[in-house]
Amino acid sequence: MIVLNNLTISFPGKTLLSDVNLNISDKERVALIGKNGSGKTTLLKAIAGIFNDYTGKIFTSGKILYLDQFRNFDEKTPFKYYMKVADTPEKERMVRSILKGLGFEEKDWNREISTFSGGEKTRLHIGRVFLENPDFVLLDEPTNFLDISGIHFLKNFLKNFDGGYIIISHDRSFLRDTCDRFLEINNEKIWDFNMSFDRYIEERKNLLLHQERELKNKVKEIERLKTIIERYRKWGREKSIKQAKSKEKRLQKMLEELESTTVFVEDEVDKIVKIPEPESSGYIVLEVKKLGFLDVIKNVSFTIYNGEKVAIMGPNGSGKTTILKLINRNLKGDGIVKFGHNVKPVFLDQFVENLDPENTVFEEMSSEMEMEPDYVVRAYAGRFGFKGEDVFKMVSELSGGEKQILALSKVLLKRPNLLILDEPTNHMDLETVEILENALKEFKGSIVLVSHDEELIKNVCNRFFAIKEKTIVEISSVDEYDMPESKRNQTKKDITEFEERKKIRNQIKKLKNQIMELEEKERMLSKELEKIEKELLNIGSDYLKAMDLTRKKEFLEEEILNTLQEMENLDEQLERLSKIL
């Protein structure tokens, strides 16, 4: 049982929670949601007894354990780390089964923990938390650094856990499958949604709409009262003055109510501010042939085409980041990496590292928007979640997720046509992940994405690669990646024989229609161009008209060239699909 009684948490210049009351029962499965900096981690630490600088009361019962997002260890090897808390013969037996269940082979049990990857450390930490047999667990970003298989393991672990928990996570799919109560920190209060994740999202929207209507009605009534009061006072009669005073009391009461009302806040993103169009590139964006590095990966080959958004999936340590580093030439390995014509690749991590900690968000963005007025820079910043006074935050004050989204906003201003991202959602809150997702969906160029966020991959990507036996294979979907091998092979066979062929036939039909439309467009443009060229021959000495016709001629020529290039790209796609069929 966890009870918050008139809890207030504040720091100089900032209040996180104000006079909050809340009850959480023993076996509830709760998600704690809120913007970065809203107080989620601070609240968990307060419940765990690690943070005590608050007013009000926190009552807890049972054994509560806290898993922080920084993964600290008090022993050198996994086996010693687990045995330190194995205080009964039963727990000693459990150590081996948990380590095996978490995917650690016996040869790894006595390895130095410092040599493990971030995902492996997370699994070790999670396993020990549950080994200690708590009644309630506080989990702060438990999916950070976990691969998709690790996240599914944790989901099953939590489903079988007999106690309760509160989870902070940016992973929507994970929250959907593990929680049935959603607490959102918003405007210094905790808003309680005791329902499924999808219903929470819907109810949240309804709450905002309801509040907006209520606010409009109150403001409308306040303005009406002000008009009436002014009119009554102008009349100057005793009766009207009395009415004015009565209305003034009502007006004052309404203004006080309006000022004291706590509302659920969500700033609107300025949808007018569009992400800049990337520069055009050739049909082939990236070719990778027989890429290899030590014993990590071998014979990795794939081609990415214009506009494709590709996910690379695989367990932690399987070589996903290694592939990206080889593409970026940060590592020297075997094989060939070749970018296509006019491809401008950008590796987001490099831009995160290059942010100046002494600059504000506004200064970082305006350095890429020197010709734009301040209000345009601020509107663009709002598109990426930096609204109001947030644009004047120092980079050094930003969370890891905020730095990632700031770097992406700057990168997109450079109009790249190939984005390469390595686990961009780590340390992002839910709102920032959605901002990232919307930006990547709107982006017109190509993307290579390494991520453990299934929902992000499903919503953004249209091609999927999986690392298997140190090389890359293409799969049809995220769902196929997580299938058992026998089912995956059967599914592949079925899809190849029916669904894939049907899908390819539909794609071919669509391409043929697009080519026909472009051919018609090219004919119309050519006729118009011929007409203008004839006019130019007979223009005489009318200089202004000649200039106008010349501009139209140049525009039509460019349009025809673009149309022909597009036809050529579609012809190549058609040929490739016809060969597959």
Taking alpha carbons only, the member of 314, 333, 325, 339 closest to residue 471 is 314
Class of domain 491-580 (CATH, top level): mainly alpha
298-332 b/e (C-beta count within 10 Å ≥ 16 → b): bebebebbbbbbbbbbbbbbbbbbbbbbbbbeeee
Can you tell me whether residue 466 is helix, strand or coil? Answer: strand
Percent of the chain scoring above 90 in pLDDT: 33
What is 2-188's CATH number? 3.40.50.300
More reliable by pLDDT, 304 or 272: 304
The 10s digit of each residue's pLDDT in 79-108 is 888 888 888 888 888 888 888 877 788 888
Distance CA 124, CA 379 (A): 44
CA distance 547 to 536: 10
Mean pLDDT, range 117-128, rounded to an integer = 80
* Residue-range domain boundaries for the chain: 2-188, 202-260, 284-482, 491-580
Q: Give the chain's count of helices (H) and strands (E).
A: 19, 18
User: What is the C-alpha separation between 405 and 38, in angstroms, rounded?
Assistant: 17
Query: Using 50, 70 and 90 to split pLDDT, how confident is the model at 268?
Result: very low
pLDDT score of 339 more than 90: yes
Closest by Cα among 302, 337, 305 to 574: 305
Give the position of tokens 């066979």: 493
Q: Are strands 181-186 and 471-475 parallel, antiparallel or unpaired?
A: unpaired
Q: Looking at 2-6, 261-265, 341-345, 523-527, which range is the least confident one?
A: 261-265
Read off the pLDDT of residues 382-411 as tens digits, 9 standing for 90 and up. Answer: 889 888 788 888 999 888 888 889 999 999
**CA atoms of 84 and 82, how far apart (whole Å):** 5
Is the per-residue pLDDT at 548 higher than 70?
yes
**Structural domain 284-482, CATH architecture:** 3-Layer(aba) Sandwich (3.40)
Average pLDDT, the chain: 84
Q: Give the span between the Cα atoms of 37 and 15, in whole angstroms.
A: 11
Asked whether the domain spanning 491-580 has the same topology as the one spanning 2-188, the reply is: no
Phi, psi of 67 (to 5 degrees): -105, 105
First to last CA, the chain: 61
Residue 55 has pLDDT above 90, yes or no: yes
Q: Transcribe 30-66 into DSSP letters.
A: EEEE--TTSSHHHHHHHHHTS----EEEEEE-S-EEE
Q: Where are the alpha helices (DSSP H) in 106-147?
A: 118-131
d(CA 473, CA 302) in angstroms, rounded, equals 9
Give the tokens for residue 216. Answer: 């409009």
**Secondary structure (3-state) at 184:** strand
Question: What's the chain's Rg over C-alpha atoms?
Answer: 30
Band of residue 231 on the pLDDT scale cut at 50, 70, 90 = low
What are the beta bridge partners of residue 113?
none
Cβ distance 299 to 289 under 8 Å?
no
